[in-house]
Chains A and B, each alone.
Chain A
């Protein structure tokens, strides 16, 4: 079949499709109204959650600063924490803008995917550390505030405290890293499929996704049972 024939059949097909498919102006406006409102708020949920945690940490540190205003050592700890939280929050805003720019940018598909991969590897990598440290700050600020009610903040076993802090940061970072790796692998597979002209990677990924879901369900079940048993034990000592 000649190429011109293909184009001619395509044109005939289009004429049929377009015969009844045209949108009126009012329809176009109706499409845009609810979607625009919805998408304005559908920003990257993970970043927003951690930004909320940072904001909460900043508020609590603010209370702590007042509560420990006569304790120079605590002030030396709390002020840098507040500064760090503000910087993290600023970085979060930057990251949201950056992701939004990629999503809405005038890029071709391959460039857009490459940009997303790069953002995941660079900015988001830094953000995961910031998120982990922010949660540590949040718990520290909360503990300090509770302890202030009962006297003064005191670290009885500094080495143990440092180990627990380090473990907390690594655990939070690790959890985020797993989620990020999966998202990144999805993007990479998509890019590879485009380059290699296949869909094999995507099919494999969907199978892997189902396995992951089963794994997550099992973990969630174990954690829920442990949580319920913990509550039962705590209420019946």
Chain B
């Protein structure tokens, strides 16, 4: 009985915060098939790790942490295949869904710029763009707050260069 209740609660929280999964998949998987695979992996890993959530941090912080760990490890496993794929896979899908070409170009440029960053920096920039605090970014990634700050200055500078 308790198991069913726990599963229900977990699924409810997951359903409420599933945007996190989609955003991470959008960044780390480059086509619809890979995104679906990665989202399944992340959801499964979240389910397996659900007992490790003790409520010390926010549910979303825990979710970002598990989801990013899964995405990064998954990326390593699939790197060989990913390297042969075009970085434009992601942007093509956005084109199909977006009506305004100017908005599309800006989004595509941002995604392409982020995709040019090292994978760990991609995680940091995702959390930054999601407007998480340095403390939360530090909790999720395991690097110190000051290191987060230093990296973000460098990442933003690089992103601006790439976008300009």
Contacts and interface: CB of A to CB of B under 8 A. Distances in A.
Q: Do A and B come from one complex?
A: yes
B87 interface: no
Interface in A1-45: 1, 3, 6-7, 9-10, 12-14, 16-23, 25, 28-29, 31-32, 35-36, 39
Given A3-B156, A16-B97, A108-B65, A199 B106 contact: no
Given A6-B159, A18-B22, A29 B62 contact: no
Contact of A7 (B40, B47, B54, B131): B131
Tell me what chain A mostly uses at the interface: helix, strand, loop, or mixed: helix
A7 B130 CA distance: 8
Interface of A: 1, 3, 6-7, 9-10, 12-14, 16-23, 25, 28-29, 31-32, 35-36, 39, 103-112, 190, 193-194, 197-199, 202, 206
A110 B142 CA distance: 6
Range, interface on chain B: 35 or more
Contacts of A32: 43-44, 47
A39 B44 contact: yes
B18 A9 contact: no
A104 B131 contact: no
A202 to B, nearest CB: 7
Nearest to B154: A197
A194 B80 contact: no
A39 B48 contact: yes
A107 B57 CA distance: 12
A94 to B, nearest CB: 19
Interface in B14-48: 14-15, 18-19, 22-23, 26, 39-40, 43-44, 47-48
Contacts of B6: none
A226 B17 CA distance: 59
A21 B160 CA distance: 29
A9 B159 CA distance: 13
18 contacts: A6-B156, A6-B159, A7-B131, A9-B106, A14-B23, A16-B97, A17-B22, A17-B94, A19-B97, A23-B15, A28-B43, A31-B40, A106-B54, A108-B65, A108-B141, A110-B143, A197-B121, A206-B79
